[in-house]
Amino acid sequence: MFARNSLQFSHRISKNVTKSFDVSNSLLLRNVCDNKRAVTPRILITGGLGQLGTECAKLLRKNYGNENVILSDIIKPTEENLANGPFIFADILDFKNLQKIVVDYRIDWLIHFSALLSAVGEQNVPLAVRVNIEGMHNVIELAKQYKLRIFIPSTIGAFGPDSPRNPTPNITIQRPRTIYGVSKVHAELLGEYYHHRFDLDFRCLRFPGVISSDPPGGGTTDYAVAVFHEGLLNKKYECYLEPCTRLPMMYIEDCLSALFQFLNAPKEKLQRRVYNVTAMSFTPEELFSEITKHIPDLQITYKPDSRQYIAENWPQVLDDKEARRDWGWQHQYDLPKLVNAMIRDVRTHFLPKHRLKEVNSYV
Ligand code: AKB
């Protein structure tokens, strides 16, 4: 039942293999060619309507063709979500249905984004256990049965108060204090175990706070997104972290280019299956001071809440030299570039038209 029919692949020889990738790293093209991956993968993205899913689908569709990237979620999609390729309902807690999707769409790679983030996980621990742990059990078993390459993101939240915080190496003590962190350490360990035991092609990156104009929803690093929306619309923002709370961060374009490059890295280059990746680290006051260069009358107040405790137990600076050494990870965005890009993105995609005139005067 689970045997792969190699003939299925013969008509899918890629026309796109030599097409230039939409990520600014020519290494990617070389890797794919060196690797002689003449077959275009069919990719399923779970939790596809969260912060990373739709942008990730855009990047993968540019490189592998619209029809080969299946976006899925249990949330109702917008017209825009439906515009560029297949979107389907997929509940990661429904194993049979996941099997059906893999068979019907002849899936090769699975990108598993479904998860409750750190702050929202603490509000509903039983749900976080179901989604983050039971859901992950389903997708990893699915990947084993159908021999899929599987990517599961991990996070700086996989570290805890006993971990060295500046810098936090790839291999160190973890012991997180949130259910989100516990579920991610579980995913890292189970994925590595399935890799060694069953030769599963499991790949995992520990991301820092990811900053995009799409609101993330439910994380501890969300302040670094919300301030752009609130700042451009209302010119004031109340921050739930202390001004000096340093955390690792990365702009979405860097996050997706790391994901893409890592997914395509030849397996001989991977000394590990789980890598730290990062771009920068900053505190709320450093970020706000950079934003004030664009919005001079931005008013900031601070009212720390329970997310402060979560942030205090996370890395301040993530050490990602192993990713840089093994598969050539390089970030493009530093703090000034990130702020420029976010102001542009939020202004273009989110601000109501009638406020644009006012906002434009600051940018
Ligand atoms: C969160 O804040 O929960 C996430 C993360 C750092 O994994 N953004």
The closest-lying atom of ligand 1 relative to the alpha carbon of residue 218 is 3
Position in ligand 1 atom list of the atom nearest CA 153: 7
What per-residue confidence (pLDDT) applies to 15?
A: 34
Q: Which residue's C-alpha comes closest to atom 1 of ligand 1?
A: 219
CA 207 to centroid of ligand 1, rounded, Å: 8
Which residue has its alpha carbon closest to ligand 1 atom 6? 209
Pocket of ligand 1 (CB under 6 A): 117-118, 155-157, 180, 209, 216, 219-221
Ligand 1 atom nearest the C-alpha of 216 is 8
The predicted pLDDT at position 29 comes to 42
**pLDDT confidence tier of residue 216, bands split at 50, 70 and 90:** low
Region 57-70 average pLDDT: 97
Say which residue, 6 or 352, is predicted with more confidence.
352
Average pLDDT (246-274) is 98
Tell me the average pLDDT across 23-44: 58
Closest C-alpha residue for ligand 1 atom 5: 209
Q: What one-character-per-residue DSSP string does 296-322 give?
A: TT-EEEE---THHHHHHTS-SSB--HH
Cα of 23 from ligand 1 centre, angstroms: 24
Q: In a 3-state reduction of DSSP, which class is residue 274?
A: strand
Contacts of 77 (CB under 8 A, 6+ apart): 49, 71, 87
**Cα 345 to ligand 1 centroid, rounded to whole Å:** 21
Res. 358: pLDDT tops 50: no
Max Cα–Cα distance, the chain, nearest Å: 64
Share of the chain above pLDDT 90, in %: 83
- Active-site residues, by number, are 180
Other CB atoms closer than 10 Å to residue 181's CB: what's the count?
Answer: 25
Q: pLDDT by residue (tens digit) across 79-109?
A: 999 989 999 999 999 999 999 999 999 999 9
Pick the residue whose CA is nearest to atom 7 on ligand 1. 155
Residue/partner pairs of 266-271 with CB below 8 Å, 24 or more apart: 266/31, 266/34, 266/35, 267/201, 269/326, 269/327, 270/203, 270/326, 270/327, 271/322, 271/326
Please report the pLDDT score of residue 26 as a whole number.
41
* 239 CA distance to ligand 1 middle (Å): 16
For residue range 135-152, what is the model confidence (pLDDT) as tens digits? 999 999 999 999 999 999
Contacts of 100 (CB under 8 A, 6+ apart): none
* pLDDT score of 350: 81
DSSP 202: E
Please determine, for residue 231, whether its predicted confidence score (pLDDT) is greater than 70: yes
pLDDT at position 250: 98
Position 215 scores a pLDDT of 74
Q: What is the pLDDT of residues 155-184, one digit of tens each?
A: 999 999 999 999 999 999 999 999 999 999
Distance 280 CA to ligand 1 centre (A): 15
Q: What pLDDT does 166 receive?
A: 98
Q: What is the pLDDT of residue 352?
A: 59
Choice among 23-32, 121-130, 280-289 with the minimum mean pLDDT: 23-32
User: Ligand 1 atom closest to Cα of 220?
Assistant: 2
Ligand 1 nearest-atom number relative to CA 210: 8
Alpha-carbon gap, residue 286 to 245, rounded angstroms = 10
Q: Identify which of 8, 9, 12, 30 has the alpha carbon closest to the alpha carbon of residue 21.
A: 30
Q: Whose CA is nearest to atom 4 of ligand 1?
A: 219
Query: In angstroms, what is the span from residue 67 Cα to ligand 1's centroid?
Result: 30
- Per the CB < 8 A criterion, the answer to whether 32 and 264 are in contact is yes
The best mutation among 155, 225, 245 to test binding of ligand 1, ranked by most ligand atoms within 8 Å of the C-beta, falls on 155
7 — pLDDT class (breaks 50, 70, 90) = very low
Q: Residue 264 Cα, ligand 1 centroid: separation in angstroms?
A: 24
Residue-wise pLDDT tens digits, 301-349: 999 999 999 999 999 999 999 999 999 999 999 999 999 999 999 999 8
> pLDDT value at position 362?
30
Cβ-based neighbour number of residue 184 at 10 Å? 29
Mean pLDDT of the chain: 89
Q: Does residue 360 surpass a pLDDT of 50?
A: no
In this predicted structure, the answer to whether residue 36 has a pLDDT above a threshold of 90 is no
Mean pLDDT, to the nearest integer, of 41-59? 96
